[in-house]
Amino acid sequence: MARDRNNNEREYTIELNEDEISSYSSGDPNTVITSYSIGIDPIGISHSIDSIPVEPEAVIISGDEAVLEENEPEDRYTRFKDAEWFGKNPNILIGGAGGIGSWLALFLARTGNKNLFIYDTDRFSLVNLAGQFTNNSQIGKYKVNAVKDLVYLFAGVNIYTMNVEYTASNGMGCEIVCAAFDNMKARRDMFDVWKMLLRQDPHPDKYLLIDGRLMAEGFHIYCVTKNNMDWYEREKLLDDNMIPDAPCTLKQTTHVAASIAGCMTGFITNHISNMSFGQYVRELPSSFKMDIPSCTVQIDNETHKK
């Protein structure tokens, strides 16, 4: 269920420039999107898509020139379709399409989830090749549009994109939200919207906020539920000026960015499994910290269970 901060109906519209239309895939091989709207109402999320016809193209998916047919069966999920979390498809919101968010969108789509939403206003630049899920052809494009194209190419799933800044006044809310921002203010805004929805819902157990913080050779993840949200708000949502800034030449690497996104995806599937079983059968750490140079992992599970 998605709501805005005031639990009111809200519509988000993204208009594409002419130079972006050719690269913005709707998922239908015969159309491309020219604009996309999301309407938030008390029932759920409705989508409005304007598109234009284009010539269909085959998608090459292997060196043997195998073609992905439009009606191909869902064989891609055969290896994990019996997993407890598979097929549940909760709405998942990703804030930020950079080092964490770009990989996270791919990995969540690869689990089969087709209800993914992502916010970002930046464009990909050459320096982003050091850590983010992109390639040379996407340089200069808005990150959300580029990630949408790449996720469809590599996972066959369309994600919903918002090329606007996430704020407390216009931010969309979901039961599961992922803070992959590069600043603390956006994390605070996402937390405020998420907390408001949790407190209004008679079933707050299903809510999860997962906050990823990335370094060049390490990362830190916080998993936030109703049980530990006061601790997270009090001790982990600091002001930006209280967070030490790493040197520009030691901020991000691809292998670590993909690693944190992989761990976050695993924690999300654990949470979905717990909701499916109706009890706490899989671990969901309050804090998970990895440092690669020292080969150490620090895990705190107790705060979450209180």
Q: What is the pTM of this model?
A: 0.77
Place of tokens 């606007």: 164
Tell me whether residue 168 is in a domain. Answer: yes
Sign of CA dihedral 92, 98, 100, 103: positive
Q: Bin 161: left if φ > 0, else alpha if -120 < ψ < 50, else beta.
A: beta
pLDDT string in tens for the chain (306-residue length): 444 455 555 554 444 444 444 333 444 444 444 444 444 433 334 333 333 333 333 333 333 333 444 445 468 899 999 999 999 999 999 999 999 999 999 999 999 999 999 999 999 999 999 999 999 999 999 999 999 999 999 999 999 999 999 998 888 889 999 999 999 999 999 999 999 999 999 999 999 999 999 999 999 999 999 999 999 999 999 886 666 666 655 689 999 999 999 999 999 999 999 999 999 899 999 999 999 999 999 999 866 655
Please report the pLDDT score of residue 12 as a whole number. 45
Residue 147 is assigned to a structural domain of this protein: yes
Fill in the DSSP letter of residue 227: T
The residue among 181, 24, 215, 178 whose CA lies nearest residue 98 is 181
Q: Is 96 exposed, middle or buried (0-12, 13-18, 19+ CB in 10 A)?
A: buried
Question: Within a domain: residue 58?
Answer: no
Query: Is the residue at 12 inside a domain?
Result: no
Candidates 303, 289, 109, 275; CA nearest to 205 is: 275
| Among candidate residues 109, 92, 151, the one with its CA nearest the CA of residue 275 | 92
User: φ and ψ at 229, to 5 degrees?
Assistant: -70, -30
Q: Is residue 3 part of a domain?
A: no
Strand pairing of 176-179 and 160-162? unpaired
Say how many domains are in the chain: 1
Instruction: Please indicate, yes or no, if residue 53 is contained in any of the structural domains.
Output: no
Cα–Cα distance, 163 to 144 (Å, whole number): 7
Assigned token pair, 287: 């804090």
What's the number of CA atoms in the CB half-sphere (13 Å) around residue 243? Answer: 16
What's 287's domain CATH number?
Answer: 3.40.50.720
Question: 43 in a domain, yes or no?
Answer: no
Domain ranges, residue 276: 81-305
- What is the distance in angstroms between the CA of the first residue and the CA of the last residue of the chain? 26
39 located within any domain: no
Q: Where are the alpha helices (DSSP H) in 41-121?
A: 101-110
Give the C-alpha separation, 142 to 119, whole Å: 11
